[in-house]
Amino acid sequence: MALLQISEPGESPAPHQRRLAVGIDLGTTHSLVAAVRSSVPEVLADETGKALVPSAVFIEECGQALVGNQALSKQEAFPLDTLVSIKRLMGRSYSEALKSGMPYEFVEDGQSMRVKTRHAALSPVEIAAKILEKLKLLAEGTLGDALVGAVITVPAYFDDAQRQATRDAARLAGLNVLRLLNEPTAAAIAYGLDHGSEGVYAVYDLGGGTFDVSLLRLARGVFEVIATGGDTRLGGDDFDALIADDFIKARQLTNVSHQTRRTLLSASRRLREALTDLSEHVESVVIDGQTDALTLTREAFEQIAEPLISRTISCVQQALKDASLTTQDIKGVVMVGGATRMPIVRRRVGDVFGSTPLTDLDPDQVVALGAALQANLLAGNRHPGEDWLLLDVTPLTLGLETMGGLVEHIIPRNSTIPVARAQEFTTFKDGQTALAVHVVQGERDLVSDCRSLARFELRGIPAMVAGAAKIRVTFQVDADGLLSVSARELGSGVEASVTVKPSFGLSDDEISRMLTEGMSKAGVDAQMRMLREQQVDAQQLIESVKAALAADADLLSAAEQTRIAQQLNVTTKAAAGEDVDAIRVAIKALSAVTDDFAARRMDRSIRAALTGRSLEDL
């Protein structure tokens, strides 16, 4: 493992200490990994020279997975075992999966669900993890060393459950997630840095399964997202489904099997892609042993497609309204996502904005390239003069259920993140000692119309008359767009909190169990490597704690200093031994006793940085 050199922010480590970080675009149809090499971001090609890895996973009899083109080649023979477009199921419930119309067998699994193949039943998180694992191996193979971390992109309009699921998948794949980055924002970085642009730009991102629109102000190295909108159930797949439905209706097919549906969807996609350059096309299909033909003119396709395009335009108009802008304020519109190759999309978007959309960066690659640039920046590899800051927003309003099934909005959509907001509530009944907190996400006023994110209870409130208790509920959204909620009764100090996730994703316990299982299967070499890595990690932590003590011991009480000194001893001894688990435990313990110290030092250094700067510095 590469040594983690901690340098001051703003300082570039020496070349040989470059820390490898990649950007990953985990797409509905394709996934890509990109890295900055010799100051230029580039997409890393796989062993066959292809940059786009199909987001397809085939589960073999032994339970092993094939990923990418290898998986896709099995699709025709084994449509139920070849999992594609899994991104559409991330963070979704069983009933939502059924409603998706995707031709797979779903099984309910508590709050979440699994996709059933002949040999396994996997959660969308596990399936996505297989794709990410493949990209990780590809990157490490190409770059020649282990990765420090990755920036993973998500649709801007992904809700909390979908973001959590994506982060879980990355962790399961053994990736250190430096940041979840919104796809349109990633594209804006790639464009903005490439063109040195200033002004307000729109990013229109129509992918395989999701649609996003973001409005960004680019000024002096700051990418400020002003508003975002979209639809996480609208992408190229939906155009294919309309073509397939049209065919099914025309042929009056009934009881369409999953296999037939998959055949038709694949043919529809080839047909749609062909119509980008041709005015008419035919795809032959074999249905139940009979050969048939899907025929479509571009004109007919555009009629079918019109309602979907109109939905994207409505999202664009809502985003403009949210930002209090008109199309005249927009300097350019950037096209992202393979589905923006459709001529009707370019034409309609061009009409709305009154300008020719920008398409000079490959719409399939631009998100991964932007993510790679951001990953390189976050890993601390930036060179002097090469610096920028992203200020992104929450896509959806976050709120709480109050009396009568109504939603009290706490953090409105398009709030700059990170954001923390608190609101005070009180009890409804005399002597009430517990308060149920139900966290929801969505724009509507009724709880039943919003997405339920989490429920938790604040217990042990001292009995008082109704309305006397003062309960402060705090929402915190971090830079990944992930929410945590805490509640505190101000009189008694009773507290409860939750990191929003258990509703649909995997619990932390589940993830660590899966990771441990993976490790126990590893061979002797890998175990030796793990031991060395743990020893190095321990040594680094010990060094950094010693350095921190030398610089800022005045931040600690005598008792705290003693506690830290004791744990330093314990960890030093463990690091000299060969017991991987003991070292891991000792590292954890030393981190735990020095956490507050690290936080105080950080606070001190930020305060110093803020007072030391003047207004003209930016």
Binding site for another protein (CB under 8 A): 4, 6, 9, 19, 148-149, 178-179, 220, 222, 224, 377-380, 389-391, 415-421, 476, 478-479, 555, 591, 595-596, 598-603, 606, 609-610, 613, 615, 617-618
C-beta closer to another protein: residue 5 or 295? 5
The verdict on whether 581 is a catalytic residue reads no
Find residue 214's DSSP bridge partners.
203, 228
Nearest distance in Å: CB 191, another protein: 19
CB atoms within 10 A of CB 479: 14
The verdict on whether 183 is a catalytic residue reads yes
Distance, in Å, from the CA atom of 257 to the CA atom of 260, rounded to the nearest integer, reads 5
Which among 70, 33, 63, 65 is positioned nearest to 175, based on CA atoms? 33
Which among 156, 150, 154, 155 is positioned nearest to 177, based on CA atoms? 150
Nearest distance in Å: CB 541, another protein: 9
C-beta closer to another protein: residue 517 or 616? 616
C-beta closer to another protein: residue 455 or 472? 472
Containing 523, the helix (H) or strand (E) segment is: none
C-beta closer to another protein: residue 420 or 436? 420
Tell me the CA distances in angstroms from 491 to 429, 462, 464, one per residue in order. 17, 9, 11
Residue of 46, 81, 159, 183 with catalytic role: 183
Nearest distance in Å: CB 4, another protein: 7
Residues with Cβ within 8 Å of residue 593, at least 6 apart in sequence? 563, 564, 567
C-beta closer to another protein: residue 6 or 466? 6
Q: Specify the DSSP class assigned to residue 361.
A: S
Nearest distance in Å: CB 453, another protein: 19
Distance, in Å, from the CA atom of 347 to the CA atom of 425, rounded to the nearest integer, reads 50
3-state secondary structure 299-356: HHHHHHHHHHHHHHHHHHHHHHHHCCCCHHHCCEEEEECHHHHCHHHHHHHHHHHCCC
C-beta closer to another protein: residue 100 or 317? 317
Tell me the H-state helices in 577-617. 580-612
Residue of 46, 81, 87, 126 with catalytic role: 87
Nearest distance in Å: CB 37, another protein: 20
C-beta closer to another protein: residue 69 or 539? 539
The verdict on whether 205 is a catalytic residue reads yes
Distance, in Å, from the CA atom of 87 to the CA atom of 89, rounded to the nearest integer, reads 5
The verdict on whether 50 is a catalytic residue reads no
319 is written with which tokens? 């985003």
Which among 233, 268, 177, 37 is positioned nearest to 478, based on CA atoms? 177
Distance, in Å, from the CA atom of 333 to the CA atom of 349, rounded to the nearest integer, reads 8
C-beta closer to another protein: residue 94 or 388? 388
User: What is the DSSP code string of 167-193?
Assistant: HHHHHHTT--EEEEEEHHHHHHHHHHH
Task: Collapse the DSSP code of 548 into the 3-class scheme (helix H, G, I; strand E, B; otherwise coil) and give the result.
Answer: helix
Residue of 25, 46, 231, 364 with catalytic role: 25
Phi and psi angles of residue 454, each rounded to the nearest 5 degrees, phi first:
-170, 155
Containing 378, the helix (H) or strand (E) segment is: helix 366-378
Nearest distance in Å: CB 557, another protein: 8
Nearest distance in Å: CB 95, another protein: 34
Distance, in Å, from the CA atom of 105 to the CA atom of 64, rounded to the nearest integer, reads 19
Query: Is the N-terminal amide bond of 418 cis, ω within 30° of 0?
Result: yes
Residue of 205, 237, 238, 240 with catalytic role: 205
Phi and psi angles of residue 539, each rounded to the nearest 5 degrees, phi first:
-60, -45
3-state secondary structure 241-263: HHHHHHHHHHCCCCCCCHHHHHH
Task: Give residue 51's region: left, alpha or beta (phi > 0; psi -120 to 50).
Answer: alpha
User: In one letter, which amino acid is 342?
Assistant: M
Active site residues: 25, 87, 183, 205
